[in-house]
Amino acid sequence: MTVQSFCQQSFYDIETVQEIKIYFEESNWDAILDDLFIAGDKERLTGRIIINGTELTDIGVRYKGFSSFSVDRKKNPFNIKLDHVIDNQKYDGIDKIKLSNVIQDPSFLREALSYEIGRKYMPTGRANFANVYVNDEYLGLYTNVEAVNKDFTEFHFGSRNNPFFKCQPDMLDLDGENANLSTSPGTTVDEYMPFYDIESDEGWEELLDLITTLDNNIDDLPQLLNIDRALWMHAFNYVLINFDSYVGYAQNYYLYQDDNGRFNPIPWDLNMSFASYRITDASEHFDGFSIDQAKTMDPLLHYSSISILPRPLMRKLFEQDRWRKMYIAHIRTITEEMFASGLYKERIAAIQAVIEEDVLNDENKFYSNDDFYTNANSTVTDLIQFPGLTDLMDARTEYLRTYSGYSGAPEYLATNVGPSGFEVGDMVTFTCQTTDADLAFLWYRATAGGVFEEIQMYDDGMHNDGNANDGIFGVDIEATSPIIEYYFFTENASSGRFSPERAAYEYYQITSDFDYSQIVINEIAIVNTNGATDAFGEYEDWIELYNSGESTIPLGGLYLSDNADNLTKWALPSEVLPADTYKIIWADSESSQGNDHANFSLSNSGESLFLSDLNGTIIDSVVFDDGIEIDRTFSRIPNGTGPFAETPATFGTLNNTTSNVASAQIETFTLYPNPAIERVKITCDNTIKNIVITDLQGRIVLHENSIGSDTYELVLPEVEENILIIKVSTFDAVFFEKLLIAKE
C-alpha cells in the first residue's frame, strides 16, 4: 500500500468559511497597526478574539505582507499570535493565524487552490477562508493560511528545534540575488544574515555548509539537501507559474533541516500563483513576461539557457541527468493528475460555491463581483492583467505535454516484493516489470522518516528477475527491520517515471508479522530531578519499554508519540528487544543526542503517550491528567501486565510490588467486566476518592468525585471510541487501566 502523512483540522477545512472577530480597546487600532508595521519591529497590539464562537484573550495582532499592505487600505492582512501573553493558548491546536487580504487575485482562488495542490506532493501549508471583523465591523473575506512554524515542522518532520530558516531577504533587491543560496555574499555567516531569517536558536553554520556544498561540491549535496523535495518544489512552481518564489526573486520559501541532517524546502506565500506575478525569472524573462509567454514557459530555462542572476538550487540540480529526468517526471505527475484530468476545474467550482456569498458581501475587496466570476476562466484587467485560471492552465497543460522528456517514459506493468512473511535477517526480493526502461532503481529504507537508499536493479536473469532482458528488473536486499518502505524509479535515454507517481512523498511499504502486543509501556518518569541520568549526565524524562513475552521482538517499525494525531512522531531505533528485557527511551526532545532520545518530552500537567505501529494501530498507551511527585514514576504493577500506579522509580528493572506499594492494595484492584458495554464495576482495597475516564486524546468523558467507598459501579458514557483510559485515585495511590468498550 502507499502511505502519506496528513492532518485534518476543522480550522483549515476548505469546505467551511471561518468567522474571526478581533476586538481592541483602542478606537484608533488601525493607525496603531499602521505605525507598528512601518516601524518594522514586528511589535503587536494586544486584544481579544472570538473564533467561531470561542473567545481567547490577550492575543497579539500586527499587519503583515509587503505589497499587500497599505496605510490607505481598509482591508490589510493580519498576523495574529494567540499565545502572545498566555503561554500555550491555542485554538484547535493552532497558536498563530495568518490572514491574507486576497489582493492580486480577482478569482479569490489562487492561494487556497495552490496550497491544496501542493499538499499532494510535499509538506505544504493548509488554507481556506475566513470572514474577518474588527470591533464588530466587517472587513471582508480573507484567505486563512497555516503558518509554517515549529508546530508545522514537528508534524511533518517529527522535530521542532533543528536549523530552520525563512528564505526571504530583509530588503528585497529587484536587481539582486536575494535568498538564492549562492555563495555570492561571502564566506562568513554574518554576510548571509540579511537574506535569511532564522527561525531556530542555531543553524547558521549548517546553512552556510549547505550553500557552499550546493555551489562547489555537488557529489556531497544529497547528504545535506532533500534533492527530491527540491525537485518537487521547482516542478510545482513551474507548472503553476508561481514565480513569486525561488524562481523569481529567490524568496518565499522555507528550509528546515530534518533529523537526518538534510534541509527540506517548503513552499510559502502562494497568493500570486497562476501567473498573477510575472516580473522576472532571473533568466530570459528577467524583464517580465506576458500571459502568452507564461503558458509556454520553459521549465528548464536555468539548464538550457542563461541565468541572469544565479539560481544554483535549480541549475546545479538540473545539470544532473537523473535528477533532471526526475524533475520532469514530477512535472508530468502534477500536470496529469490535476490539470489534464480536469480535476482542478472541479475544485474551482467547488471552492467558488463555498465562498460565493461571502465574496459578494465583501465590500472591501479589490475587484468587482463580475471579476470574481470571470477570472476563474478569463483574463481580468486592472492595473495589470490577471490570467483566467482555466485559460492559462489548459494552454499550459497542452504545452507541457509536448515538452521533451514528458512523453516516452517507461511504463510499469507490475511491481512485486516478497516473501510477504519475511523476518528480520531474511533476503527480500523486489521486482518491477516495465516497458522501455534501460535502467531501474529501488529506493528503500528500514526506518520511517529515514533517508531512502538507492540501489540499482538488474534485468540479467541473476537477481530473481526472471529471464535476462525480459523487461523485469530485480534486486535482493536484507531486511534489517520488520518494515521496509520503498519506491521505484525507471528511466531510458529521454525520460523517467516513479512508482508510485508521487514518490518520495508517497511510497510503498511491506511489513513482517510480529506479536507486538508483548511490548508494553512499563514505566514513565515525568519529573526526574535526582534519579537516573542519560549519557550526557542530564536528568531527563524517560520511558521504559518491556518485552513481556517469550520471543525477541524487533523495535524497528514501532513508534512513540505524545500526540494522538501524529502516532508516528518518533520512530524507535532499529534494534531488537529480547524477552524479559527493558529498553529506556529518553523523552527529552533532543534526538540529536542519539537514537534512544525521542523528539518530544512529557508534561507533568497532563499527557498522553502512545506506542503504535506504522499503520496507526495503538499497541499500548498511557493517559494521565495531573501531576506526580518529584522523582516518582508511573509503573505497571504487576510488572509488565498490571495497571499503572505512582511508585518510586525502578529504572530498567522489575517493578517490585513489595517495595513499591502494598501488594494487597494492588492484588484486590479489579475492573470488571473488561470489555464492557454499559457498566463497569471497580473494586479496590482502599477507599476510592475519584474516578476519571478519558479517551486516547486525553479528553475527559466522565469524572466521578467524592466516592468514599472501596467498590463503585459506573454507568459508562456513550462514546464512539473502542478504547478508553480509566484512572482510579485512592488516598494512597493512583491507578490507570485500559478499558475496552464492546459494541452491542
- Residue 532, pLDDT > 90, answer no
Q: Residue 640's pLDDT is what?
A: 83
Domains of the chain: 2-150 (no CATH), 157-334 (no CATH), 411-511 (2.60.40.10), 514-655 (2.60.40.1260), 662-744 (2.60.40.3080)
Binned at pLDDT 50, 70 and 90, residue 730 comes out as: confident
Per mean pLDDT, which range of 62-76, 374-388, 529-543, 730-744 is the poorest? 730-744
Any residues with CB less than 8 A from the CB of 477 and at least 6 apart, and which? Answer: 427, 428, 430, 442, 444, 455, 484
- Residue 697, pLDDT > 90, answer no
Could you tell me the sign of the dihedral formed by the alpha carbons of 84, 114, 243, 154, in that order?
positive
| 3-state SS class at 117 | helix
pTM across the whole model: 0.78
- Take residue 652 and report the three cell numbers written for it: 530498567
- Angstrom distance (rounded) from CA 295 to CA 302: 17
More confidently predicted of 453 and 744 = 453
Q: What is the DSSP letter of 222?
A: G
- Residue 665, pLDDT > 60, answer no
- Angstrom distance (rounded) from CA 308 to CA 288: 13
Binned at pLDDT 50, 70 and 90, residue 6 comes out as: very low
Q: Residue 728's pLDDT is what?
A: 79
Any residues with CB less than 8 A from the CB of 537 and at least 6 apart, and which? Answer: none
Each residue's pLDDT tens digit, 173-232: 988 999 999 999 999 999 999 999 999 999 999 999 999 999 999 999 999 999 999 999
DSSP string, 332-390: HHHIIIIIITSHHHHHHHHHHHHHHHHHHH-TT-SS-HHHHHHTTTS-EESSSEE--HH
The position carrying cell 519506491 is: 487
- Residue 16, pLDDT > 60, answer yes
Q: Residue 664's pLDDT is what?
A: 34
- Take residue 357 and report the three cell numbers written for it: 456569498
Binned at pLDDT 50, 70 and 90, residue 648 comes out as: confident
- Compute the average pLDDT of residues 461-466: 95
Q: How far lies 432's CA from each of 446, 483, 494, 731, in Å?
A: 20, 19, 20, 64
Average pLDDT value over all residues in the chain? 89
